[in-house]
Amino acid sequence: MSRVFNFSAGPACLPEEVLREAAEDMLSFKGSGMSVMEMSHRSLAYDQIIKETEQDIRTLANIPDDYAVLFLQGGATLQFAMAPINLSKSGKADYITTGHWAQKAAAEAARYTDVKEIASSEGTQFDRIPDLSKLPIREGADYVHLCENNTIYGTQYHTLPETGGIPLVSDQSSCVFSRPLDITRYGLIYAGAQKNIGPAGLTLVIVRKDLIKAELDHYVPLMLRYDTHIKSGSMHNTPPTYAIYITGKVMKWLLRNGGLNGAQKRNEEKAGLLYDALDRSQLFYSPVKKDSRSLMNIVFTSGDEATDADFIKGAEALGLMGIKGYRTVGGMRASLYNAMTRTGVEALVSYMKDFERSR
């Protein structure tokens, strides 16, 4: 069967070039006689893989030495707890809520620290990023948390809030490495790999070392301490070896293709194609305010459930997979992560126009 265009929000598509390289390595990685999936994480061959992957990430995002790059497990969901556990010094943290996952993060953090919601777009059904001016950030707050791209509602921060020196903690699961970033604006970035940089099972954490609490309560498990993973080089236990290996290949693919500037250019072009089609359409529309539109997850609908269902069914018949919207929202969602090609977006736009003409 030929390859489909996978618009799923995650696990998502990977670069075909990377998949072909991995296929060549599957039975014998660099003449070792074994797959990376079979390889000891303590072997010299794997040590080179994980160290090279970290260095490529540092090069790609220009990450300085005072930040740790960690390969963890548990998804972004575990970071909802690990962030407050490890960063809480004053015992208070401020959260901006722009959707389902931002709310989940705040609720989980409230188990470990005093959480205050300082801005929200819930009142408009999360159709925008809220006003970030004059945020009531508490003096001495340990950090300000945000979810930088919202997969369900299709919104994205295009400017970061000014926090007056309070560290910014960002869930970048669905936008990490999709555009240039100034790492010094952040105290902590975390991202589940399965949307934009690799397979499910890996969580990337980039944290400024001086923010980590020196002493944690004795009952905090070693696996939930950033310091544990810094000291062990992300190998306190067996890491998600194959996911790290594939992520390393994706990093090299990004570096070969213009780095983060190249990724941003491609992503803006792809999103522009689809948003332009939606703005011209008489049948489909996006409910997201234009200044908050995501480059990664584009949500749209006809406003009629039966029409949307027909559209999704027809898309799947053409190999345009994974465009059904999140179960609580409905409609459609096209995820245009780094690995989605312009050709895939053009195929979706062409189908949209044909479907509209047929109604």
d(CA 214, CA 80): 19
How many CB atoms within 10 Å of residue 252? 17
Q: Among all residues, which ones are annotated catalytic?
A: 101, 171, 195
DSSP codes, 76-90: HHHHHHHHHHHH-SS
> CB within 8 A of 269, min separation 6: which ones?
342
The Cα-based distances of 136 to 144, 162, 173 in angstroms read 11, 11, 26
Q: CA quadruple 45, 46, 52, 53: dihedral positive or negative?
A: positive
Helix axes 259-280, 342-358, angle to 10 degrees: 0
Give the total residue count for the chain.
359
Beta strands 114-120; 149-150: pairing state: unpaired
Phi and psi torsions of 173, nearest 5°: -55, -40
- Cα Rg of the chain (Å, integer): 21
